[in-house]
Amino acid sequence: MTAQWVMYGIKNCDTIKKARRFLEAAGLEFAFHDYRASGLSDALLTQLIDQLGYQTLLNTRSTTWRKLPEADREAVTNSESAKALMLAHPGVIKRPVLRAPDGTLLVGFSEAAYQTFIQEKS
């Protein structure tokens, strides 16, 4: 099986929609993994945290984060507690996460960052 580009996120997220349109306009073939529809495995989340760090993945500006009880937010003190929260509430993961065929990751979306990342990894 050939390694491919994969975008992780949630289908109805506006940022995901922008990133998907950008990749489609650039003619880049990619798979989309929706955390809510396809699930989020412990193994996948562990890989993402190992590569990026939980601080990079945890979106403390998201609506999901803000709606959590204060005790849940304060309980996030390390990668294990962050992983447990992200598995329970995938909406707190920054989106999108784009995986290049070589396994490197880019979090978030900006046209400039995507253009550079795609050029470097293609």
Q: Residue 5: which of 110, 72, 116, 102 has the closest Cα?
A: 102
Per the residue annotation, which of 7, 13, 58, 82 is the catalytic one?
A: 13
15 catalytic? Reply is no
What tokens were used for 11? 């289908």
Distant-in-sequence, close-in-space partners of 101: CB < 8 Å, separation ≥ 6: 2, 3, 4, 5, 121
**Residues labelled as active-site residues:** 13
